[in-house]
Structure 1
Amino acid sequence: MNMKNHFVYILKLRVSGTMSNAPVILTLDTDMYSNDPQTPLRVLCYLLDPAMDPKLGYIQFPQIFHGINENDIYGGQLKLEFQIEASGMDGLVGSTYTGTGCFFRRGVFFGGPLETPELNQDHLVNKSINSKEVLAMAHHVADCNFEKQTKWGTEIGFRYGTLVEDFYTDYLLKCKGWKSIFCNPKRPAFLGNSPINLHSTLNQLMRWSVGLLEVAFCRYSPITFGVKSINPLTGLCYAHYAFWPIWSIPITIYAFVPQIALLNCASIFPKASDPWFLLYIFLFLGAYGQECLEFMLAGETIQRWWNNQRMWTIRGLSSFIFGLVECLLKFIGISTFGFNVTSKVIEEEQRKRYNQGIFEFGVPSPLFLPMTTAAVINLVSFLWGIVQVFKQRELEGLFTQMLLAGFAIVNCWPLYEAMVLRTDEGKMPVKITLISITLAWALYLVSSIAF
């Protein structure tokens, strides 16, 4: 959800309160539509059940997208976040609110009696919505100045102060004791659209990264306020999402440091014969194996899991990095500028390549620079490592670094293809390729001094 959608939700919440004041509210993105007419009945089964917890505030359905290509090359379904992890959080106080596909009790947005009687949650609307009184009140509450000197945005309605106001609102509602239920029927309740080019995907994730960090470092940080107000385990779950962009730091380190050390023939990991080497292999295989198993149990293919883990690395070397930097600049009062480079490629051509499973670059965006630089560094270091093995007949000391570089090369194949082999409009711009090679060379020169 973006700020424009957030403002629309606020207006609808207030305006609907004067016109109907229905006890249940559905929030839905403009690009999503209902896919199952039985969905309201499912929701009412929860909300009207007298045995249900009175603090049950909302029913969240997963975000599911149509038009995703066979292998979901951009990880657009966000299967891990929107479905697998959501099911886990459902066992605590409920999954997070994702900004769409959610039915709320109107009462969760009101902390008590309001200064405007017509907006109180127990107010009954007994006049036609076309009456002058109702229309006049609707215009009054929709006015931009209505919420000045009120608690709207802080204690009432959707909460302000971040680009991920859906996550922030959900988190503060959970801190007040409200609970949610994650409902994931076999037939998707709602379907929406997902970006079909990499730049749009990364731009969206960069906005989320900035917003999540705004929540992470606000006065209600999940790591401090959250673990006390909800419970430690749920607070840590919200902290996991809020500090999501911090993953850019270890991802960047593993994408560059071992490979640069390999170029300088320096070993920084235990040898293959060292018992500590087994720990590295166990952690590597354990983490990837667990995620693969979760995907398989969720009905996904190994190819989709592979593309999802590739996109995790790409996010860490693009959206997370730029989101982290932008957030730091905002905290110290420096204006920031987004990278809204417009693609001039005809959408039909993009759709055709997307359906074929081909990555779409096409624009000279700074978001592509870290990942292409890492792709160059990993390829050169791996080839150099092979040369050293043949020269010195010694692989044991450099095995782990070559393993990391080789794993990165396999993941970076779409980048190499886009930089060298492709001629279509969606290839990597030559400008980005040349800058990346220059940056990789500069990193090597600087590292040769350090080593």
Structure 2
Amino acid sequence: MLVVKKFGPGIAGIQGMFYSGTGCFHRRKVIYGVQPAIRDLEPGNIKGSPSYKELQAKLGSSRELVDSSRIIISGNLFSAPIVNIPCRVEAAKEVSACNYEYHTCWGQEVGWVYGSLTEDILTGQRIHSAGWRSAYFDTDPPAFLGSAPTGGPASLTQYKRWTTGLFEIFLSKNNPVVSSILEHLEFRQCLGYLVVYVWPASEPSFIVPLALFLMCNIYDIMEYMDCRMSARAWWNNHRMQRISSASAWILAFLTVLLKTLGLSETVFEVTRKDQSKPDASEAGAEAAADPGRFTFDSSPVFILPTALAILNIVAIAVAAWRVVCFAGAAEFGPGAGEFVCCGWMVLCFWPFVRGFVGKGSYGIPWSVILKAGMLVSAFVHFCRRI
């Protein structure tokens, strides 16, 4: 209700408020899938309305329903015959049967639209896409009062249904962008629908860090462009900075810390330089086959990056499972910020993700994976304890 109070007056100035289930009246013309142009017909001008066969193909074989719909569409209400109650009751039983809608337009062009668990929003979008406009009334006192689940399981089940339905529309052929391009849905109304469809993944508190993240990285890319370097060069250096800071830098810090405590001494390690002509060894042959791909060994320097890759992959998998099970509720599920951060880390550590399935020197040794897995388990256990 709060969302409607805040969002309704603004969207009402475009094509009208969304259809959100309760508290709504529909004209029969709209439910029958009639285009707004037909409403300009003069009363009694039934010639401009769809023919009997056209309505029968759309609405089904019920003669009572077709005749009634022709009268409503034409606007000639004075020509309505005297209602025969028993016949209308039998007609109502006929059209309410489960198999009546077969080979008709019900669920697509007529009535409530199928294909989503939130059929109300999708039906309203179909109505707006046809060119109709809706009116928003905010009366005091409220004209309609409804009820909502009060228990935890029922409430979360309802949120799950809403979330599932909205994502279904967003990822289907009913996406409002398609309706805006091919039909009569105005662009601003399309943006309004997009706000509703991504509502389960929205997280206003994430806007500030997201803006800082984008500004920082865009500025870095612009500097690379000024130096006549490509975006690929920026990405390679950005990724290597993340990997180096999570491996070599932390290992160097621990080495100096142990030396300061008198527990160890630093050792000068000779760095092996790549040769212009690789040797005949297996590692040299693999490096020549794919010089841009990481090679691994059992060095401790690979343990922490491997652990970070495992941690973020598991976090994305668990978060996706929670979204499905708990409908993305704030108390149980993750927000957009968690998905974006974990996804970005997986991209930065993608060489290690490839290393999980690589072979030979391209694959991460099992000893490193086991140590990284134990490190992740200890970290998760510690986080759950606190």
TM-score when normalising by structure 1? 0.39
The higher relative CO (CA closer than 8 Å, separation ≥ 6) is in: 1
Q: Which has the larger radius of gyration?
A: 2
Q: Which has the higher strand share?
A: 1
